[in-house]
Amino acid sequence: MRLEVHRRLTELSEETGKEYGKLVQKLLGVAFLDAGVEALTDRSTQGIDLELELDGVAHALEVKTTEGGKIRLGVKDVDGLRAREQGGAHGYVAVLGSRLTDEWLFARFHPGELAPSLSYTVTQLRPYRDRHLERVVLDTFPNAVLEHASAAAARGQRGLDEVLARHPRYRRA
């Protein structure tokens, strides 16, 4: 991760506290839209966090941020991913760590492999990674952070909802 992007994310985390994860989710949504996905749905309150269509394939993402290098999946997270898989989408756990060396990791969800109420390190998720999906936002996520982190810090989720709403391929659930 570029130093300036890391610095801005660290500041955003400090400024917004518990809201940080939702803000990163929305910044990731902006990055996917900027990368040209056909459609993106942000589910801020219930269900899977982000749903998108890329190259004609449906993807469902449960977005997690980590400070200590571990994430925890809830029952709701696993049930939601399982349901989206059964509906034909490709499910992922999208993880962004807090270290300067961290980039997005998109771990493909396989029912029965990841259990709820357990903690997983980023290293444990690496065998499931989808490098193609990671490359989709490799350039657009840093740009989204640098361009929109100020709106996120000043107006929270509402500020990023306004950014997302300007994209014609965006839907809010």
Summarised one tens digit per residue, pLDDT across range 79-130 is: 999 999 999 999 999 999 888 778 999 999 998 898 888 899 999 999 999 9
Instruction: Identify whether 173 is part of a domain.
Output: no
Please count the structural domains in the chain: 1
Q: Which residues pair with 61 in a beta bridge?
A: 50, 92
Terminal-residue alpha carbon distance, the chain:
30
Instruction: Identify whether 119 is part of a domain.
Output: yes
Instruction: Identify whether 132 is part of a domain.
Output: yes
Instruction: Identify whether 39 is part of a domain.
Output: yes
Please tell me the pTM assigned to this model: 0.95
- Helices and strands (H and E) in the chain: how many: 6, 8
* Contact predicate 104/28, CB 8 Å: yes
Instruction: Identify whether 172 is part of a domain.
Output: no
Q: Look up the domain containing 14 and give its range.
A: 3-167
Instruction: Identify whether 100 is part of a domain.
Output: yes
CATH number of the domain that 125 lies in? 3.40.1350.10
